[in-house]
Amino acid sequence: MKSKYLRVLLAIAVTFTFSAWAQTGSAATPSGPTVAPANPAPSAPATTTGSSAGTKVGTINITEAIFGSNEGRRDLEAWQKKIDPKQNELKSQNDELEGLKKQLSTTQDKLNEDAIATLKKQIETKQKSFDRAYQDFQEEAGNQQQEIATRILQKMAPMIVKYSQENGFAMVVDTSKPWPQSAVLWWDPEKVDMTKAIVDAYNVQSGVPAPPAAGAAKPAAPKPSSGAGATKPAAPKPTTPPQ
């Protein structure tokens, strides 16, 4: 039974999508990738009551457990520093692109057809270049976040199984996503949630100290826009898990 639980938990790591990060839309970091770590709403509805026979069901927010641990926070912050240069580069490209779009919008009634066509062609070329660079960045960032999550969960999974067995849980459900994205409708964190207990135990086992408080946040870079004049909102980035 233990090996079955472990296989299920490791399978979660392989398919991790971090969609909860994208839902926050936080602008706390520059030109962030889609991904990413956000803190799911604790009040999200879900059902974890046991059957009349007394089956005990536990809950854990896998995303919060991984990136709320000292090791997860440390590695996430290191990852953020690593991608900062690329984020800044994307922001510069986007600023240049938006400047050209503004130029077209404010001067096209004063330009001849050739000048307008040249400016539009320049915008189109830079837009395609930016879109490709942004897509590549998102994919690379997602892969790096996936690597962090998989590595930590491989070490955390046996602890989840052990805690569940010692506390009589016959089933454990992940509450990383709120209902209706998750099948869980309601639960009482004080009675069934093991997230904090797992994080505390993992911090002791890993020996990784809590990282220092993060400094001032940098502005986020906008997402790719479509068309000659459209501007879309800034891309979300992984938010720092709770202390």
Rounded CA separation 194/28 (Å): 28
215 in a structural domain: no
Other Cβ atoms less than 10 A from the Cβ of 39: the count is 20
Examine residue 88 and state whether it is found in any structural domain, yes or no: yes
The answer to whether residue 231 sits within a structural domain is no
84, 211 Cβ separation under 8 angstroms: no
Into how many domains does the chain fold? 1
Q: What is the pLDDT of residues 169-220, one digit of tens each?
A: 999 999 998 888 888 888 888 888 999 999 999 999 999 999 887 654 443 4
Question: What's at 28, amino acid-wise?
Answer: A
pTM for this prediction: 0.63
- Under the banding of pLDDT at 50, 70 and 90, the label for residue 78 is very high
User: Would you give the DSSP letter of residue 37?
Assistant: -
Asked whether residue 222 is domain-assigned, the answer is no
Q: How far apart are CA 106 and CA 121, in angstroms?
A: 17
Whether 96 has a pLDDT exceeding 70, the answer reads: yes
pLDDT tens-place string over residues 136-156? 999 999 999 999 999 999 999
Segments of 2-135 assigned E as strands:
57-60
By residue range, what is the domain housing residue 16? 2-206
Residue range 2-19: mean pLDDT, rounded: 44
The CA R_g of the chain, rounded to the nearest whole Å, is 22
Q: Is the pLDDT of residue 132 over 60?
A: yes
Please tell me which residue, 53 or 146, carries the higher pLDDT value. 146
Higher pLDDT, residue 70 or 34: 70
Q: What is the pLDDT of residue 173?
A: 92
Predicted confidence band of residue 1 (pLDDT cuts 50, 70, 90): low
Residue 217 belongs to a domain: no
Q: Is residue 235 in a domain?
A: no
